[in-house]
Each structure stands twice: as C-alpha cells, then as structure tokens.
Structure 1
Amino acid sequence: MEQSIRSGQQPRRGTPAPRLSVGFILARRFTLCAFANFVDVLRLAADEGDRSRPILCEWTLLSDTMSPVASSCGVLVQPNERLGDPGKFDYIVVVGGLIDEIPNLSLEYMRYLQRAAAAKVPLVGVCTGAFILHRAGLMDGYRCCVSWFHHADFLEQFDGLKPVSDQIFIVDRNRLTCSGGASSAHLAAYLVEKHIGRAQARKSLHIMIIDDALRAEKPQPGIPLDLKTDDGLVKKALLLMQQNIDAPLSAAEIARRLGTNRRQLERRFQTSVGMAPTLAYKIMRLEYAEFLLRHTDQSVTEIATSTGFCDSSHFIRAFRERNGTTPAAYRTRL
C-alpha cells in the first residue's frame, strides 16, 4: 500500500476549511490495522457517502526522510509531507507497533513531538505510540492507555507512569491514548464527534461495519480475569494465562516462565487474590466461554476447544458448576 495518505481528490471550491486536521507519524513496523482504522474513520467522515474528499477533515502522513515506512506486516506506506510546523494540526497521532522498534524512532521525530507539546498541540498515542510519547518525556503526570497484552512490557520499560489496560482509550487533557486495533477507530470517532458531529462519527463506523461508537471506559476485549491486585508477579501470570487460554499452561510452567517456583506463585496468588492460580485460570477460561456464547455462533464443542478444555463433556461439567446451567441453556436464555 505504497501511496499518499491524502486523498487525491480536493475539496470543492468555496467550501469551508476542514474542522479537523490530523498529522500522523508512523513508527517503523507500526501496526497497520490500528493506523487504517483511525484514518478510515477520518476519511469516511470527511465527505458525504464514501467519496473520500478531505472536506470536513484532513489527514497528512509526516516524515523526516520521506522514505516509505514498513508496517509490522511488511506493507509500505508512503509519507506525503516533511516535518514542519506542528501547530497547523489539531492533533498529532503517533502510531506504534513492535516493541523492539520503539528506540529506533529518529531524534527528528522526538524533537518534533516535543515542539508540538510546547505548542500545546494535543498528542495521540495509538498502540505502542504511548510508549513513544513517554520515551519522549511527554507523558509525565498523564494517565496512559496500553493494551493488556503490552501492560507488563510497559511496566518493565518505563518508570513514573501507571498504564491503564482495562479501557479501550483514555483522554487525559491534551494526551489521548488507545490500545490499538479496533479501539483506534473508536478514538478517531470520538475526535470526529467532538469536532464535526455525532452523525458523521456514526456514519464512519457503520460503513466500517462497526455497530456504534464505544465510550472510552469500555473494557478492552480479551483482557484477563478482573482481579484487583497490585502484585506484579500475579498480574504477569494473569497476562500469560490470557495469552495461552486455548492451551492452558500448568502452574509449574507459568512459574518457570516468570522466573519463580510453583509454591511461591501459589502463595502470591493466595495472598493477592484469595485463590490458587489454577482456579483463577479456570474462571478466566469459563468467563471467555461465556463471552463466546454471547457473541459468536461457535458450537459448544468449538468453544470447549477455544477455551482449552479437553472435550465438550469436561467443558459442560465445569460450566454447569460455575453457572448452574449448561452452555446450550445459557445461550438460549440470552
């Protein structure tokens, strides 16, 4: 997808200036879907239908070198404007991707973001874009949304900031951050609604086959079991469980991967959340099964496989113990 991000079509003469102007910075090996979701909401809101003319809003892909930027999947995107005056944009959006590439963002980009902050231009971090903003020293004192998948990575790499991984996006004054993926469409819709109107925001999402805009505090889909704990080891264990929900790890294997032993892991779970890690894992899998029953057409057998049960009979027994009913009856009541 090596192309200019601005639409080839121009606004009609006599039309008012766009109400929303966004500059994008793409990190090397950025997440393509997060960027595409964000920019497509702008595109569809900018004109009637889906004709893509930048009438109500405009978007620009900024660069220090004008070289194509490779996404994490290898697709190239061609910038169309060099770094200049950040003050001409309503927002600067940084789209991140692979964790290992964060230190490789050039000093020119970092200085540009710092100039934008000094000019009081709101900054947006998409996916690991929040990591980049923090590395640039621009997130101190701000709440920051990161994907539950990267929560532990953030804690390991950055001090002085508490990431939030149980919401799809966060607006904290002039810093806006989101967890990436589909949440970037909802953050973009939030901006469209604020600057252009609710009707345009809803239109964009509906054309993208998204039911409606979600509020910032909507929980991230797929986040781990909602256990309130400040224990870093337990949080990392819960994330590891979530990442292996279809092929459950033993408590001993979880402990090994986290550099501890099983007895220590069990003690920390009991002290922190009042249950053994195996029980927490089982509840997490059953909660995910409830989600699949509510939101998919998967059969009971397929859901049993998706949640790591050895067979449907074992799954049905565990589900009945927790919910007092079978998976099929649970779905029928919805």
Structure 2
Amino acid sequence: MLSFASAIEPFRIANRMSGKTLYRWRLAGEAGTWASCSNGATVRLDMGLDELGRDEMIVLCGGMDIQAATTKRLVGWLRREARKGLTVAGLCTAAYALARAGLLDGRRATIHWENQDSFAEDFPEIELTKSVFVIDGNRITTAGGTASIDLALTLIAETHGEELANAVADQLIYSAIRTDQDTLRLSIPTRIGVRHPKLSHVIQVMEKNLEDPISPAVLARDVGMSTRQLERLFRRYLNQSPKRYYMELRLVKARNLLMQTDMSVINVALACGFASPSHFSKCYRAHYDTTPYRERGSRSGRVVE
C-alpha cells in the first residue's frame, strides 16, 4: 500500500500544481474488479489484464508473497505488453514478477532489502543493486516504500522540470529527494545505533561474507585489533559476541531463502555458510524455535516433517 500510494500521489499533485492533466492512470489487476492489500484495504480496479496502447506505461506493485502472486497469466500479460516496447516498472517486490517474465535479463535492478538474498539466488543473470530505485532503459525497479516517491519525482523532473518536481516534494513534506545513487537501507552505524568505525567495518565485512564466514581472528586483524579486543567491542556495543552476531546474520538470510525461494534446505544451508544440514538445523532451531523443514512447510500452511 505504501509503494502504491507513494507512486500515485506525486503524479496527482503534479496535475494539481501545474493546473493541467499531465498524467493519467488506470488501476488494473487479474480480477478486474477489486484488489486486496495485506493491511486489509481494498482498491477498486478500472480494468483487468487488458491490452494496452503503445504510449502507455506499466507500473506493477508487489507486496508480500510475491511468488504466489506472480501467476502464469500475469507473466504472460507482462511479456505480451513488453513486446510492444512499453516501459515496465516494478515497485517493491514486483521486481520479482518482472524477472520471472524475463524482462530484467541482462539489466540492472533493485528490490526490497528483505528479498535481496532470494532474488540473487533465483536470478543470477540480473545485476542486483542496493539502490533505492534503478532506471535501466525501459525497465524500472524500486526497493519499496517511499522509494516510489523518489522515482516519481525523478520522472516528473525529467519530463516537466525540476521546479515542478520540487513543488510536488514540498506538498508531500518530502525534504530530501533521493537519487538512484542512494542505497535502500540505513547505514550500518544508524541501523545498530553505534558510530564506531571499526565495529561498522567488521559488520559490513560480515554482511558481505555470509556464504563463506570469516573467522573472528581474521576480522579482528583486518581492523588492527586482537580477537579479545574485538570480543570486548561487540559485547560493549551489541551485548553479544562477534560469533553470535555473525550467526544471527546468516540465520536471517537462511529464513528469507526458506520463505521466499524453492531452494532445498541443503542448498539454503550451503548458501548461508553451514557445512552440514544437521548443524544448520540445530542452529536454526536454537534461534527460531523451529526447524528449517517446518519453517518451509509453514509457508504453504502445512507442516513438513
């Protein structure tokens, strides 16, 4: 809902501020009548997956459980309309649907940070970035949430000038317009609430090396510290050991892969740096109080023994 509203409102305001109908839109969906959001709200649709004109643009909005929402019918519609040369945008998780339709092959793209790991595993041929939005030719993707506002303001500025885009931003009480060079997550110091350069560097290295974990000794040496000093640093600021923090990062990635992909539990374990399924299962149960197999089963509403 946030990505959806953030995409439409800047164009509505642009029409109002300019005194002209610069933008028009229609709401489409498979049902052709109503679309339901995960927050319980429903939106009345103007049309089904009908044929579009060559001067139109598709903006697809995705939310939770995008894999199930990406139906064969939707994929077929996207491919058919894309062959006309239309610009196609995917907001938030909708980048998955574009990728499944083959519309992002060989392109740069972004997606909500929670879906980054699974997207990279499913579509290795796509250059995945951490930008808030990406415009690659006639393919556009956003990382979700208010990134739709940044994209809309950029498109308004490109077509009708920065003065109008800034006027729209003022109406939205939006004081800092991000570009495609901005990243989709807060900086590590902001996220962890600690501004310690060495700690931030170690965490950054951990996040980039989840499949092949690096030992605390090597991490400490990389920032000119002893292993004991690194231990004290983590316990002082994060109240846990480097090993525990690293383990939790890997388990979060594992859970995302289990819930968002069809990768086998063994492959998920390997992708998150676990040498054996049994060790992975033991660590997963200790952290989440369930097994990877049960977690995978819960995605489809059934328990897998």
Would you say same fold, with TM above 0.5?
yes
Equivalent residue for 2:90?
125
Deviation, 1:88, is 4.4
Q: Is 1:139 the counterpart of 2:108 in the alignment?
A: no
Deviation, 1:60, is 1.0
Deviation, 1:252, is 3.3
Q: Aligned to 1:57, what secondary structure does the other structure show? A: coil
Equivalent residue for 2:209?
231
Moved more, 37-46 or 218-227: 218-227
The 2-side partners of 1:248 and 1:162 are apart by 36
Contact 2:33 2:46 in 1 (8 A): no
The 1-side partners of 2:107 and 2:239 are apart by 36
Equivalent residue for 2:244?
252
Q: Is 1:60 the counterpart of 2:26 in the alignment?
A: yes
Indicate how the Cα distance of structure 1 residues 253 and 202 shifts in structure 2: closer, same or farther if over 3 A, else same. Answer: closer
Equivalent residue for 2:182?
218
Pairing partner for 1:193 from 149, 154, 157? 157
The 2-side partners of 1:202 and 1:85 are apart by 34
Equivalent residue for 2:2?
33
Deviation, 1:120, is 0.7
Equivalent residue for 1:331?
none
Contact 1:127 1:180 in 2 (8 A): yes
Equivalent residue for 1:321?
none
Contact 1:91 1:121 in 2 (8 A): yes
Contact 2:87 2:138 in 1 (8 A): yes
Deviation, 1:194, is 1.9
Query: TM-score under structure 2 normalisation?
Result: 0.62
Deviation, 1:220, is 2.4
Q: Deviations over 1:38-84 (max 9, x none)?
A: 100111011237xxx87111111112322311112121111112332
* Superposition map of 1:56-95 within 5 A: 56-95=22-61
The 2-side partners of 1:132 and 1:223 are apart by 28
Moved more, 66-75 or 172-181: 66-75
Deviation, 1:110, is 1.6
Indicate how the Cα distance of structure 1 residues 111 and 85 shifts in structure 2: closer, same or farther if over 3 A, else same. Answer: same
Q: Aligned to 2:114, what secondary structure does the other structure show? A: helix
Contact 1:68 1:77 in 2 (8 A): yes
Deviation, 1:90, is 3.5
Equivalent residue for 1:28?
none
The 2-side partners of 1:194 and 1:58 are apart by 17
Deviation, 1:221, is 3.8
Deviation, 1:124, is 0.6
Equivalent residue for 2:135?
171
The 1-side partners of 2:212 and 2:167 are apart by 42
Indicate how the Cα distance of structure 1 residues 214 and 254 shifts in structure 2: closer, same or farther if over 3 A, else same. Answer: closer
Equivalent residue for 1:116?
81
Amino acid at match of 1:194: E
Q: Is 1:154 the counterpart of 2:123 in the alignment?
A: no
Contact 2:109 2:134 in 1 (8 A): yes
Unmatched tracts of structure 2, length 5 or more = 189-199, 214-236, 255-268, 275-305
- If each structure's helix is expressed as a fraction of its own residues, which one has the higher value? 2
Identity %, equivalent residues: 24
The 2-side partners of 1:54 and 1:90 are apart by 18
The 2-side partners of 1:78 and 1:180 are apart by 22
Indicate how the Cα distance of structure 1 residues 216 and 63 shifts in structure 2: closer, same or farther if over 3 A, else same. Answer: same
